[in-house]
Structure 1
């Protein structure tokens, strides 16, 4: 009597009602998230593979699966899309704000030199800056330098180098300005206007069919690539790519989606991993791709030289044998002869590829694979770039080769080598001549540099509109409030005297005296600067966006000027003989020496700041001087809760960022992913910089300082 019968009818009914459809299928190897577990031991292989094939057969029936989307000629490239970085548009290798040009060749030359190049790129113009003001995700696309025409040229430049381009879309952006159209229609329009090739669905558990339909209707079919596991396996029919957030057991797992649809491309992603070998081995074992993400929200998590070289080698092999990696007869965990060596077999009409990984922390050499005893077959160790002679052992053939500790291998078996193979073997032989272990594996953070603020004129008497801030001993304590990155090295900024960037900062400072403007610079004051200098920035998109015909709106004279970039603010300060304040000067002027949390004291007082704006439209800033209750111990006003204020800029090789202080009255609702706001004096915002067109904001202003 089986166990179901022992439960009785009522018990069986109750059990079935609590089981998911997946659990109800008769398999001893159910999926665990995005992966299927491997066999517990090599002897289980035949049963394990049979179980997986049966599970797949039944699952495709349950899905009513139709794989026609994978056969569309315009989308076939996704099946070769092995390496894709997500790249912040603010990355300094991608755009040069001085020449105001996208530097596609510079970016591609760098990744080619470091890890062998990419197949596509996901360009990211939205988070973490979104929510600083009312602009929605689509507005931020159109605020990129050059507008749609400039983006189309940038995409064309990537296409010239054989690289496809994705833009993201995010369903959580429901608190900023109304888009005015369905999100799928807006995403499809951007793809059509820029000539891009794919849509990445940020936080999507499978992009809905509406995105595919909208792209087709817009005349630009695109590859859909959700970030997370599919909400329903049925979505596999039109999401021809996905990201993989996998577990990495010692016995490699099998891609659930590739097993169901061998043409489906997964790019494995582990954005914060410093050692990427687990991810690279899992990708190679499954014949899928890798998300070579390094600039993570302006925090550099660079690929080490050892992992970069491993990535170069496995991607080179995958690109060469891409047609085999979509084999419907692929067989992961094909038996090997050595402990800790795992292989996947990809058979095809022209030959068979085996991808192998060594999970041992030591080298393994000697007998590795049994080879088919078929007359006329030739065997190639394509990882090392050489032909192998099979060893005959009774009625079987055995292949001998070496695999480096935690390394990789690849064997190609064919009766008729094609004309490209000799050149490929030569390339791989040269590439693999140096062992991976000889490349550095130590991860290093990028050092940051603070951009110097030129000294201002020294004031001998209190200038009009300024407050004297006396010299004093000040404990400067502040933390960055960016959403991601935890307390890792490289998060936030690196102050002078600190060995690396970090989230939390505390130090005693001997503050010299200085003068700070009592209020932020107003529209009326900025108008005097404009009239005196005829200032007009070369990159003028969004410059003084609220102004019309060279003047601010009626009634706005005493409101803080906004829609000015850091460069615009510096130009005004230079004209005024002043400078922008350092962040610690700003905080000292706001906080005094008693460590208070708000300019007015230790407790929050809503009457000391303008009311919060939480809707999808935003009123104009309040006039300066309207909330004197919010003054600091030194009498400086509008320090928090009015408009964010520019202070210092920090740079590293890949990123520019400004420290913003004071927060604003705009608190968008509906998502935890918007730019974090704050009224607290021990918190600051890190705002990524790209170009004035995108950097300018309706809720960032500034004030000036003078030396004493």
Structure 2
């Protein structure tokens, strides 16, 4: 098939696209002499769209508006698949320098969803533009800061997504920076344009280009590392500390003791513990003498054997140990890096290596680690770009990008790539770091290299504990490919990410509304066999129909306006849609539980916390007396069903302060033979429980009012217990109460008064009466 086209905007231009996808991808794009797209295949656009828009000298323009300054040509790649690809070249035809940036395919119409630069920022200008909210700052891969993306509806059945990628190698007389290109007169630069159809919301166009096509960084993605069972543990890790080997929480020279175990135990209480500890004995001292980085590990106090003991301590607390690797160590004592790293891993039994200054790993490093033991993770300092993700399964969002963007699209590219946001304690309160990491479904790396342990650190560690508990207990949702960012909301400045799983769906919410928020916010699909729970505040919630759609209420805490624009702004919430697996009912003081799935049920007095211990039972049927296990606690009881640490369902019950609860226990006595002295048989029967109360200053039980009870036949004493009977009990049993004040004070010399032997005994406590009943083989009424 022969393809014909003309490189001009002055006549109608048809771009023919050959694709093996056939009808699933565009074949023809028609462009008018005004550089606008009028039709795609047989779809006539109701409003023509520009093939591309951009900023020229920081002003938004269309190609037809600046023909005297810049020439734009399009050259399709005929046999490209999947989708369509063309090379779009910009040539400076003027006699002055031109600043070109923010190149967006199909323009920036208000109804489009698109990504491009916004404002002025050296590291973080990329934003997602949506018609229903202010632009959202986002993180893109390090090799794609300048990319342009757009998604828009073409018809009710098809939508178009397009991607622009800069080709650095094509630059002629052009200076390239992170976001901008300065073209000298006669200079030129090309971008690659990719176009395809998608179905659904704009996020599905994003998914196609980012998650399925990997931004066209690679022709095919090698997932072999991600498929390895021994490496999957890192994707379910959420808290990491990196510390220097001279940190007193590692080793204190003053007392000559190692304190890493104490550090880990404190962390377990505050935030559930560290999934990873990284030890760093090299930079910045590396190079002061001829010792190389591996020598510095060998020379630590206690040597390799002591590090191995500390690794054992970590493993006993379900924590992994990483060692540092500095690939730039070239001027010290010569030692093969691959063999040196393998030697450290072998002798310490460590679980991973932190690749300093690297955003990728190498086959040689991973194979060297694999030759020592399984489970060893390569953890890059930078975030791997799509082509490098094939060789490494974890990395960090570097703190060079201080005050990071709200949304990380790098997580969207490959959700099972383990990401940790770097945060530092010494600078300032960092609640926003924890909150945005939680919103994006990934972990936090606490870098504590710099000295300083602020007084607010423990309080915010507890906040980290709340976010990390949800991430850990729902981790398979946060690594699933069908994650959807930024679903529509009824209010701006509050954002929702959707994390569907096989049976439950999690929604993470992040708000920058200082006064807090409490209202219906986002649309959901409902099902008769599912229910919604706010698992941040731990309360069950009810959807509401608004204009024929079902919406969920959200609640976020208020924060001081002075924190806006700082690392302490923001508040979060989290909603879960659970299947109905847990049946619970609170009747008086008894909590009835029934669950035929899962392996354990946890009951919490108040909200779950790493600083508390729940009452735990196996899955099944239970009747739990709350007073017996939780004492006089009044408030919220959270019931959670788990399977291997994963939250399956949650119910919440509440006992209001002052609620009267039945505390007596039913005891059984030997069966009566009908000949008991001075006793009568009360026949079996039913009755309706009723109560007549006085004023309500003292509350009375009301939960069983009007309930019909069936009472079996029983025997009851005809007369009250007499002084003589109680005296016989004392002589026979030798009973003495713990508190003797006023005990039988109407007796004289320890005996009943003469003539009162058959009077009812008085001046005895409840405990004294129970002791008599037990001795007599009877019981008190309940």
Q: Structure 2 length as normaliser, TM-score? A: 0.50
CA distance in 2, matches of 1:99, 1:210: 41
CA contact (8 A) 1:343 1:356 kept: yes
CA contact (8 A) 1:38 1:254 kept: no
CA distance in 2, matches of 1:358, 1:396: 23
Where does 1:210-609 land on structure 2 (aligned, <5 Å)? Answer: 210-230=364-384, 232-245=385-398, 247=401, 252-256=406-410, 258-271=411-424, 273-294=427-448, 296-300=449-453, 304-393=457-546, 395-405=548-558, 406-417=570-581, 426=604, 429-431=607-609
Match of 1:109 in 2: 265
Match of 1:195 in 2: 349
Task: Say which of 12, 15, 33 aligns to 2:90.
Answer: 15
CA contact (8 A) 2:114 2:128 kept: no
Greater strand proportion: 2
**1:374 counterpart SS class:** coil
Structure 2 regions of 5+ residues with no counterpart?
1-31, 36-50, 53-62, 65-70, 76-86, 93-97, 107-112, 136-150, 152-199, 559-569, 583-596, 613-782
**1:110 counterpart SS class:** helix
1:72 aligns with 2:228: yes
Change (3 A) 1:355 1:167: same
CA distance in 2, matches of 1:251, 1:136: 37
Q: Deviation at 1:172? A: 2.0
**1:191 counterpart SS class:** helix
Change (3 A) 1:238 1:8: closer
Match of 1:90 in 2: 246
Change (3 A) 1:327 1:220: closer
**2:209 counterpart SS class:** helix
Match of 1:155 in 2: 311
Change (3 A) 1:250 1:125: closer
Give the aligned CA root-mean-square deviation in angstroms: 3.7
Considering only CA atoms, is the larger Rg found in Structure 1 or Structure 2?
Answer: 2
CA distance in 2, matches of 1:164, 1:170: 20
CA distance in 2, matches of 1:264, 1:302: 34
Q: Deviation at 1:306? A: 4.1
**1:140 counterpart SS class:** helix
CA distance in 1, matches of 2:357, 2:489: 38
**1:74 counterpart SS class:** helix
CA contact (8 A) 1:385 1:426 kept: no
Q: Deviation at 1:95? A: 2.3
Match of 1:578 in 2: none
**1:332 counterpart SS class:** coil
CA distance in 2, matches of 1:433, 1:97: 31
CA contact (8 A) 1:195 1:220 kept: no
CA contact (8 A) 1:36 1:254 kept: no
Change (3 A) 1:89 1:35: farther
**2:290 counterpart SS class:** coil
Q: Deviation at 1:215? A: 1.2
Q: Deviation at 1:401? A: 3.7
Change (3 A) 1:30 1:73: farther
CA contact (8 A) 1:185 1:215 kept: no
Task: Say which of 185, 188, 210 aligns to 2:339.
Answer: 185
CA contact (8 A) 1:170 1:204 kept: no
CA distance in 1, matches of 2:482, 2:265: 37
Larger RCO: 1 or 2 (CA < 8 Å, sep 6+): 1
**2:518 counterpart SS class:** coil
CA distance in 2, matches of 1:174, 1:209: 20
Q: Deviation at 1:163? A: 0.5
**1:325 counterpart SS class:** coil
CA contact (8 A) 2:207 2:413 kept: no
Task: Say which of 254, 277, 285 aligns to 1:129.
Answer: 285
Change (3 A) 1:250 1:62: closer
Task: Say which of 206, 209, 213 aligns to 1:58.
Answer: 213
Greater helix proportion: 1
Q: Deviation at 1:310? A: 1.8
Q: Deviation at 1:34? A: 9.0
Q: Deviation at 1:72? A: 1.2
Q: Deviation at 1:10? A: 9.6
**1:176 counterpart SS class:** coil
Question: How many aligned positions are there?
Answer: 429
